[in-house]
Amino acid sequence: MPNTYPAVIAAITTGFRALGMQITVTGDEQVPRSGLAVLAANHSSFLDFVFMGLAARASARHVRFLVRRDVRDHRLIGPAMRSMRHIAVDRAAPAGALFEAAAALRAGEVVGVFPEAGVSRSFTIRPLMPGAVHLAQQARAPLFPMAIWGPQRLYTAGRKPTFRRGQSVRLLIGEPPHPQPVVPVADQTGELGRRLGELLERAQRDHPDQPTPGEHAWWHPAHLGGAAPTAQQARALEHPMPPGAVAPLFGAF
């Protein structure tokens, strides 16, 4: 990877310390120290890509993310994104990004994907695009589900960024499923959604920042006592899911 990657990581780590951020990572020892791998995480915050990279820090790996083209081309953060060789996704024509990600996997890299194709305003798992499963299946790469919880209090959809000090962030990396090349991609995508939902709820329940009685906890999911929209209510606020999205097997909350 380019030399700018370590420099960016160092700058981000310094920012975490300045904010007094408390970050707990569980399961990162599973990410291999060499060879290809796919990370697939939930998407509750615009900052999630920053934290997903921490899943590979223990194994001294750099993650190449699939990010929206407008993010990769952004006037301020775009140069850093491009120098770290993150992969731009054109939602109207995503095949090019998948081709580039597949090439990265063949080269033995770690690729990070947010299969929900957008930030979840309900803080539950939206229907997933099948790209992550397709990549892992075609490359025969381990697919690690990952839950990220806490950054939504800093910057999420429909809210202005608020970089409050002392924020706690929980990262949970689950075990990759056993390879099942004969199982349809759609079925495996639904199973990935189920695993992500279980990991995310575990992170939400174990997080030290819980709603207090009577608090309007917009940052916490409705089914756990928060004031976030339900999954059904959120659909009216979110961008429509692209064709081909697969609902998690456990269904919506």
**CATH code at 57?**
3.40.1130.10
Over residues 100-129, the pLDDT tens digits come to 899 999 999 999 999 998 899 999 999 999
Query: What is the DSSP-derived secondary structure letter of residue 246?
Result: B
Over residues 39-60, the pLDDT tens digits come to 999 999 998 988 998 999 888 8
Residue 1 lies in a domain: no
Residue 67: its pLDDT value, please?
A: 76
Residue 228 has pLDDT above 60, yes or no: yes
Closest Cα to residue 49, out of 58, 40, 59? Answer: 40
- pLDDT (mean) for 67-92: 72
When pLDDT is cut at 50, 70 and 90, the band that residue 195 belongs to is very high
Percent of the chain with pLDDT over 70: 91
Count: domains in the chain? 1
Residue of 15 and 193 predicted with greater confidence? 193
Residue 68: its pLDDT value, please?
A: 73
Residue 253: its pLDDT value, please?
A: 37
Calpha distance 88→70 (Å, rounded): 8
Residue 250: its pLDDT value, please?
A: 67
Residue 82 lies in a domain: yes
Average pLDDT over all residues of the chain: 88
Residue 246 lies in a domain: no
Helix spans in 68-184 (H): 69-72, 78-83, 95-106, 131-139
Residue 204 lies in a domain: yes
pTM score, two decimals? 0.91
Over residues 128-182, the pLDDT tens digits come to 999 999 999 999 999 999 999 999 999 999 999 998 889 999 999 999 987 666 7
Residue 203 lies in a domain: yes
Residue 49: its pLDDT value, please?
A: 86
Query: What is the DSSP-derived secondary structure letter of residue 128?
Result: B
Residue 98 has pLDDT above 80, yes or no: yes
Residue 38: its pLDDT value, please?
A: 97
Residue 186 lies in a domain: yes
Instruction: State whether the Cα torsion 170-13-39-253 is positive or negative.
Output: positive
Residue 159 lies in a domain: yes
Residue 242: its pLDDT value, please?
A: 81
73's torsion region: left (phi>0), alpha (psi -120 to 50) or beta?
alpha
Enclosing domain of residue 170? 21-235
What tokens does 80 get?
């850093």
Closest Cα to residue 112, out of 175, 57, 49, 170? Answer: 49
Residue 131: its pLDDT value, please?
A: 92
Residue 241 lies in a domain: no
